[in-house]
Structure 1
Amino acid sequence: MDALIIENIELFKVPPRWLFLKIVTKGGIIGWGEPVVEGRADTVAACVQELSQHLIGRKADSIEDIWQTLYRGGFYRGGSILMSALAGIDQALWDIKGKSLGVPVHELLGGAVREKMKMYCWIGGDSPDVVIEQAQAKVNEGYKAVKMNATGALEWIDSIKKIKSVAKNIQLLREEFGDNIDIGLDFHGRVHKGMVKPLIDELAPYRPMFIEEPILSENDEALDHIYSYSPIPIAMGERMFSRWDFKNILHKGVVDIIQPDLSHAGGISEVRRIASMAEAYDIALAPHCPLGPISLASALHVDFTCINAFIQESSLGIHYNQGYDLLDYLENPEIFDLKDGYVSLLNAPGLGVEINEDELKIAQKIGHQWRNPIWRNADGSFAEW
């Protein structure tokens, strides 16, 4: 029907570091997506504009055909920019389809397998002086799980002193909270292969929930050695952008948890497929989400339908969100209310997020030029951030 024909797309680059996409159909149905690469928002916006030639005039409910056309319609495929642009478009199309049928997206994906989803959020982890205070604040908000950076900048092979200092934060948390909170540790790709085993030795006694990105995804062959060594579950995948990127580590069984990002890995359609692949290998799902409310809602709809999803990241209060936070652009922030560490099933049509466009337009005038820091080692050489 003509009401579902895509008539217009609009992009909003807003602080703290987000890009929102609005797709409007002839019938006035609005779908929202969040296509962005942190630090490359303008590049992704340009990609969305290029892809719009395949959108305007198409029926918005042809989600799978549009996905395949956008992915396979160019000779060069994959990568962070294309897959992030495609992710935001895909999110918006699912939002439209759900709204047009009057059902939440998780119903379109086969229906929910759970009534609520366990959540975790960030604490800084950079200083022992504040880690207990920050963790206590999150516990007071109702969280039963947190994540923090495991390390600062590291040399390719660093000192024993630096290795031992890494365990201090989680040691303090265990002494304060015992086993009453789960603690994820993010290596953030900062650690080179030769440092991973010594760090695992220091961290293992404190029973982390997982270690995330122990090595960069381009060095995933190193997981063969790390996986067999580590008693701590290994999480990987925020810098993998399609089922083809995940195929090798899933087949080899060298991770325990995959973390595709709903705004980077092709959106709801592709992450749902990746999750099903992981289920076949008995691997858990914990979508990466340090971004905004549309990305989080998209992740939750996938979580609600995937039996192997066990926890969901939220950016609420994360250190990147200075001045603007997860709920600031929403008319209905209560959908992400936390109760006993869980967010309840989202039951409104589509993604369930109601965006405050007035706030969005004001914030768009401010915009952002967010870039990740450039770190240097003591000798002046580049250090992974």
Structure 2
Amino acid sequence: MPKIVNARVIITSPGRNFVTLKIECDDGTTGVGDATLNGRELAVASYLADHVVPCLIGRDAHRIEDVWQYLYKGAYWRRGPVTMTAIAAVDTALWDIKGKLAGLPVYQLLGGASREAVTVYCHANGTSIDDTIAAALEYQQQGFRAIRLQCGVPGMASTYGVSKDRYFYEPADGDLPSESVWNTSRYLRIVPELFKAAREALGWDVHLLHDIHHRLTPIEAGRLGKDLEPYRPFWLEDATPAENQEAFKLIRQHTSAPLAVGEIFNSIWDAKDLIQNQLIDYIRATVVHAGGITHLRRIAAFADLYQVRTGCHGATDLSPVCMAAALHFDLSVPNFGIQEYMRHTPETDAVFPHAYSIEGGMMHPGDEPGLGVDIDEELAKGYEYKPAFLPVNRLEDGTMYSW
């Protein structure tokens, strides 16, 4: 029985803030789990250090399901992003340990590979349609088969998804939240023009995706989906806030464009109605925010009953530990759809050495035992935590709005 003897919460900021949990067993085996919650990192760090780690010491590291249930049911206060991110960190680290003890990559413990590699999509963005198309053409030449398109909206100072650096996008940009201004009418005019230009430039052998980021009402989302139908979008992401899941029925009535949602979901209960009523086509929940590999597998298995595919969130606010875990999950589940991919900075890659690789728009987690990723703790010490908030959004009259 591998007994847990120590667990450390490591906070580092190699280009952005990350929280990592490292669990150690009595035989020296270690495992890592991502515990990063963008803009609320220290809340999870405290939850782990003050409330979770003391409960782990002395437990059998092999009993992943029992530990998961203990941390979920035993806390009384269930769900929520802080709790589920903390549970995910423990769960992911225990899968890493189990793989190392078995001498197998984690995907082999999940039933083996269901495909040869994992299809990913990249992010093309620019301040104008021409800039975005130029970025998308560059990604297409690199072999990417799926590309998310975001461009600046004329008359707006800033737009979600458009970064100063074409390759690196970090929305958490200040020690207090910056404020953006939003105009729905202008946005609804520019996106169909973007997709029309993209199809003319890229052709039809590449998938085109778009993130609305919760900014439309259901009827506005239905209108946009209908306008984009001639260009066959792969999906429209987060078309409207998902708290009111009935809203997706209205979107479905007006467009056949595929819908994706769930990067801010924390449990199967957040996704249950949307999945079983077939109101979405892709579930975007991810390892770090949805309770780890154990719970994400439950969500995927449930979704498979209704022909809903996975499309895990994979922005740079997920560390390489989470990316590795996502790839093992992606490689194994039968109803995999696509995986989001954003490259990390060289500093981040150095702090988190990893075995996963990318080639021609496809990724593989590698075949090292466990997750195939670790944290260089000495190097991590050189990057101190920096307070960083996500922006907030207002309409032009000053009304608070969804960012």
SS of 1:196 mapped into structure 2: helix
- Structure 2 counterpart SS, 1:124: strand
Assess if the C-alpha contact under 8 Å between 2:313 and 2:340 holds in 1: yes
**1:150-165 equivalent positions in 2, closer than 5 A:** 152=159, 158-159=184-185, 161-165=186-190
**Residue 24 of structure 2: aligned partner:** 24
The separation in 2 between residues aligned to 1:146 and 1:369, in whole angstroms, is: 31
- Report the AA paired with residue 100 of structure 2: K
Residue aligning to 1:258: 283
Q: CA 1:111/1:158 → structure 2, altered by over 3 Å: closer, same or farther?
A: closer
Partner SS state of residue 243, structure 2: helix
Tell me the secondary structure at the aligned position of residue 253 of structure 1: coil
Retained in 1: the 8 A contact 2:22–2:32?
yes
* Structure 1 position 156, deviation (Å): 9.6
Cα distance in structure 1, aligned partners of 2:182 and 2:276: 29
| Equivalent in the alignment of 2:249 | 224
Query: Does the alignment pair 1:195 with 2:229?
Result: no
Q: Please give the residue correspondences for 1:93-108 in structure 2 after superposition, counting only pairs within 5 Å.
A: 93-108=94-109
Residues 1:240 and 2:265 aligned together: yes
Query: For 1:73-113, what per-residue CA distance to the aligned partner results, in whole angstroms no more than 9, with x for missing partners?
Result: 02220011100111111111100111111111111112211
Structure 2: distance between partners of 1:119 and 1:315: 9
- Which residue of the partner structure matches residue 93 of structure 2? 92
- Contact 2:147/2:209 (CA < 8 Å) preserved in 1? yes
TM alignment of 1:174-189, pairs within 5 A = 174-189=199-214
Q: Would the alpha carbon gap of residues 248 and 125 (structure 1) be closer, same or farther in structure 2, given more than 3 Å must change?
A: farther
Shift of residue 345 of structure 1? 5.0
Equivalent residue, structure 1, for 2:7:
8
Q: What residue number does 2:351 align with? A: 329
User: Could you tell me which residue of structure 2 aligns to residue 133 of structure 1?
Assistant: 134
CA contact (8 A) 2:7 2:21 kept: no
Confirm or deny: 8 A CA contact 2:181 2:393 kept in the other structure. Answer: no
Q: Find the counterpart in structure 1 of residue 366 from structure 2.
A: 346
State the partner residue of 2:53. 52
Following superposition, the deviation at residue 173 of structure 1 comes to 1.6
Q: CA RMSD in A?
A: 2.2
Give the Å deviation of 1:368: 2.6
- How far the C-alpha of 1:230 sits from its partner, in A, is 1.7
Bigger helix fraction: 1
Q: 1:5: Cα distance to partner? A: 2.5
Provide, for residues 123-154 of structure 1, a one-character-per-residue CA deviation record: whole Å limited to 9, x for no partner.
22553242022213322333211113477479
1:373 aligns with 2:391: yes
Q: Compare 375-384 and 266-275 and name the one that shifted more.
A: 375-384
Which shows bigger deviation, 206-215 or 173-182? 173-182
Alignment partner of 1:217: what SS?
Answer: coil
CA distance in 2, matches of 1:30, 1:187: 40
Unaligned runs of 5+ in 1: none
Q: Give the total of aligned pairs.
A: 374
% identical aligned pairs: 34
Matched residue, 2:322: 295
Q: CA deviation at 1:174?
A: 1.3
Contact (CA 8 Å) 1:211, 1:235: kept in 2 or not?
A: yes
